[in-house]
Amino acid sequence: MTDRTTPLRLGTRRSKLAMAQSGQIAEAVRELTGRAVELVEITTYGDTSREHLAQIGGTGVFVSALRDALLAGDIDFAVHSLKDLPTAQPEELTLAAVPEREDPRDALIAAGGLTFAQLPEGARIGTGSPRRMAQLNAWARTLGKRIETVPVRGNIDTRIGFVANGELDAVVLAAAGLTRIGRISEATQLLSPDMVLPAPGQGALAIECAATNVQLAAQLAGLDDPYTRAAVTAERSLLAALEAGCSAPVGALADLSPSSRLRSSTGGPKRDEQAVTELHLRAVVGTTDGSTLVQLSTTGHVPASLDDDATWLTMGRELAAEMLAKGAAGLMGERAL
């Protein structure tokens, strides 16, 4: 029998953003379970390495230490940025909940409040993401301008500081992260998915616990948003089928179109007033210089229940197969190990 007086231990990375989003989940779990939740700070390899993500493989570098702590019983559950999770789910762990997604778009923070189109010729734009580099360079080409994408590492404050001190003309960051630490007002432009597709799963969080902790998993499922889970399942299925790691130049976004009423059986939110009949999945793979992109999309009908993961998995795999047939494999430059 569970001792309700014993606090639940939530494992989190130490960064300002990770602590902020874990704190929000901790409060939601307190309300859901009636139990105290304490944050357990864990340092991951991705936090200590100074190499760029593409150089260290990217896949799982922010996740492995948290998962090790779960398996060792040092923490009860963990919160990850879903885009950092490897697409293969370990049998020993369960993805108990994917809460409602924050804005998945990327955001530009530029000196002088400029938009991307207003940036000067040769503007230096900081990002640690090959995906962003590929699409920003491609978009600059459509505008007939030249930019320089500059690899950067560091937390949000550090990256924005590169613009404040004049080292860079702009940086591109996830809008969700800026929102969660209260700095979204500093964005000078939210980049439309028509311009830059986000990383698969961007803006979403993942709550993970040991598969053997059935009671806790059932409780955490109360935070699951079936609409978000459906969308990110399709996006991550595509990523897995491409055999690409989370630092590969792959963008994907699934949109659920409201039009009819569906219910989820998972115990998560039941947003009947915003139910859907179609899911639109679009994706891009490109070279980091933006010279070559493979961009495709597909639309599928939503089954009787949003919990039918097979539909979303199939949609992602089929779109990935089309992209591979058009040469996507030769553009990624990085494979998951």
DSSP 192-220: PTTT-PPPTTTT-EEEEEETT-HHHHHHH
**Residue 15: strand, helix, or coil:** coil
The residues that bridge with 50 in the sheet, in sequence order, are none
Q: Which of 105, 246, 271, 282 is catalytic?
A: 246
How wide is the angle at C-alpha 288 spanned by C-alphas 53 and 319, nearest 5°?
90
Which is catalytic among the residues 105, 159, 183, 282? 159
**Is 246 among the residues known to form the active site?**
yes
Catalytic residue among 30, 35, 124, 153: 153
Question: Measuring CA to CA, which residue among 205, 177, 206 is closest to residue 190?
Answer: 177
The tokens for 293 are 């992109």
Residue 196 CA, distance from chain mean position = 14
List the catalytic residue out of 13, 131, 180, 229: 131
CA distances in angstroms from 312 to 127, 262, 329, listed in the order given: 30, 16, 22
Q: Quick check: is 84 catalytic?
A: yes
User: Is 229 assigned a catalytic role?
Assistant: no
What gap in Å lies between CA 200 and CA 87, rounded to an integer?
A: 10
Tell me if residue 295 falls in helix, strand or coil. Answer: strand
Does 159 qualify as catalytic in the annotation? yes
Instruction: Look up 50 and say whether it is catalytic.
Output: no
Active site residue 83: yes
Active-site annotation holder among 132, 229, 236, 271: 132
Find the catalytic residue in 13, 76, 84, 105. 84
3-state helix, strand, coil in the chain (%, to 5): 35, 25, 40
What tokens appear for 117 in the block? 């189109």
Contacts of 72 (CB under 8 A, 6+ apart): none
Cα separations (Å) of 76 from 24, 30, 38, 81, 270? Answer: 17, 14, 10, 17, 27
Query: Catalytic positions, please?
Result: 83-84, 131-132, 153, 159, 246
